[in-house]
Amino acid sequence: MNEAAWNEVKAEMANVKTIKEMFAEDPQRAERFTLEAAGWTLDYSKNRITPALMKKLYKLAEASNLREEIEKMFTGAKINETEGRAVLHTALRNCDPDAKVLVDGRDVMPDVRAVLAKMGDFSDSVRKGAWRGFTGKRIKNVVNIGIGGSDLGPVMANIALTPYSKRNMKFFFVSNVDSTHLAETLRSVKAAETLFIIASKTFTTQETMSNAEAAREWLVKELGDKSAVAKHFVAVSTAAKEVAEFGIDTANMFGFWDWVGGRYSLPSAIGLSLMIAIGRSNYAKLLKGYWKMDKHFRTAKFERNIPVNLALLGILYANGYGAETYCCLPYDQYLSRFPAYLQQMDMESNGKGVTKDGKPVTYSTGPIEWGEPGTNGQHSFYQLIHQGTHLIPCDFIGCCRTHNPIGDLHDKLMANLFAQTEALAFGKTAEQCRAEGVPEKLVPFKTFEGNRPTNTLLCDQLTPETLGALVAMYEHKVFVQGVIWNVFSFDQWGVQLGKVLAKGVLKDLVAAKPELKHDSSTNQLILRYRKAVGR
Interaction between residue 85 and ligand F6P (CB under 6 A):
no
For residues 115 and 192, which CB has a smaller minimum distance to ligand F6P in the complex? 115
Identify whether the C-beta of residue 150 lies closer than 8 Å to the C-beta of residue 199.
yes
The per-residue DSSP string of 130-162 comes to -SB-TTSPBP-EEEEE--GGGTHHHHHHHHHTG
Which residue lies nearer to ligand F6P by CB, 290 or 341? 341
E strands, 151-207, in order: 170-174, 194-199
DSSP state of 533: T
Nearer to ligand F6P, 208 or 463 (CB): 208
Write down the least CB distance from residue 238 to ligand F6P, Å: 8
> Burial letters for 440-466: b for 16+ Cβ neighbours within 10 Å, e otherwise?
eeeeeeebbebbbbbbbbbbeebbbbb
Please, what is the minimum distance in Å from the beta carbon of residue 271 to ligand F6P? 13
Single out the residue of 64, 80, 90, 200 in contact with ligand F6P (rule: CB under 6 A).
Answer: 200
Least Å from the CB of residue 174 to ligand F6P: 13
Sign for the CA dihedral angle at 220, 222, 228, 229 comes to negative
Closest CA to 378 of 330, 346, 334: 330
150 binds ligand F6P (CB under 6 A): yes
Site string for ligand F6P, 204-233 (x = CB under 6 A): -x--x-------------------------
Give me the catalytic one of 8, 348, 369, 465: 348
Q: How far is the CB of 211 from ligand F6P (least distance, A)?
A: 11
| Residue of the chain from 149, 373, 377, 398 that contacts ligand F6P (CB under 6 A) | 149
Which stretch in 60-68, 96-104, 194-202, 386-394 sits in contact with ligand F6P by CB under 6 A? Answer: 194-202
What is the three-class DSSP state of 353?
A: coil
- Only one of the segments 38-46, 94-102, 201-209, 281-289 lies at the binding site for ligand F6P (rule: CB under 6 A); that segment is 201-209
Of the pair 147, 186, the CB lying nearest ligand F6P is at 147
Q: Is 348 a catalytic residue?
A: yes
Q: Which stretch binds ligand F6P (CB under 6 A): 148-156, 283-291, 309-317, 512-520?
A: 148-156
Pick the piece of the chain touching ligand F6P (CB under 6 A) from 120-128, 198-206, 420-428, 483-491. Answer: 198-206
**Known active-site residue 369:** no
Among 18, 41, 65, 202, binds ligand F6P (CB under 6 A): 202
Q: Would you say 208 or 456 has its CB closer to ligand F6P?
A: 208
Q: In sequence order, what DSSP letters do the residues of 515-532 get, joined into one string?
A: ---S-HHHHHHHHHHHHH
Q: Is 102 helix (H, G, I), strand (E, B) or coil?
A: strand
Q: Which of the ranges 35-43, 95-103, 143-151, 354-362 carries the binding residues for ligand F6P, by CB under 6 A?
A: 143-151
Task: By CB under 6 A, tell whether 263 contacts ligand F6P.
Answer: yes
The span of 145-153, 356-364, 453-461, 475-483 binding ligand F6P (CB under 6 A) equals: 145-153
The residue count for binding ligand F6P (CB under 6 A) is: 14
CA dihedral 518, 519, 524, 526 (to 10 degrees): -30
Residue closest to 317 by CA, chosen among 11, 48, 14: 48
| Residue 382 · residue 399 · CB < 8 Å | no
- Beta carbon nearer to ligand F6P, 208 or 350: 208
Interacting residue with ligand F6P among 133, 262, 373, 393 (CB under 6 A): 262
Q: Rule CB under 6 A: is residue 365 a binding residue for ligand F6P?
A: no
Query: Strand 170-174's sheet: what is its strand order?
Result: 170-174, 141-145, 194-199, 233-237, 253-255
Output DSSP code: residue 300: S
Binding ligand F6P by CB under 6 A: which of 1, 60, 147, 234?
147
Question: Which of 128, 221, 301, 379 does the annotation list as catalytic?
Answer: 379
Nearest residue (CB) to ligand F6P, 228 versus 487 = 487
The size of the chain, in residues, is 535
**485: burial class by Cβ within 10 Å (0-12, 13-18, 19+)?**
buried
Cα 396 to Cα 457: distance, rounded to the nearest angstrom: 6
- Whole-Å CA distances, 68 to 3, 26, 63, 88, 418: 19, 35, 11, 15, 37
By C-alpha distance, which of 152, 116, 144, 1 is closest to 64? 1
Active site residue 89: no
Q: Which of 117, 495, 510, 525 binds ligand F6P (CB under 6 A)?
A: 495
Closest CB to ligand F6P among 150 and 447? Answer: 150
Which residue, 150 or 158, is less far from ligand F6P as judged by CB? 150
* Interhelix angle 66-74/51-63, nearest 10 degrees: 60
Rounded CA-CA distance 282/287 in Å is: 9
Question: Which residues, 454 to 493, sit near ligand F6P by CB under 6 A?
Answer: 492
Q: Applying CB under 6 A, which of residues 46, 201, 352, 410 lies at the interface with ligand F6P?
A: 201
**φ and ψ at 360, to 5 degrees?**
-60, 140
How far is 346 from 126, CA to CA, in rounded Å? 34
Does residue number 153 form part of the binding site for ligand F6P (CB under 6 A)? no
CB 456 within 8 A of CB 43: yes
Residue 520 beta carbon to ligand F6P: minimum distance, rounded to whole angstroms: 28
The residue type of 143 is: V
Question: Rule CB under 6 A: which of 324-353 touch ligand F6P?
Answer: 348
Known catalytic residues are: 348, 379, 499
Q: Which stretches of the chain bind ligand F6P, using CB under 6 A?
A: 147-150, 200-202, 205, 208, 262-263, 348, 492, 495
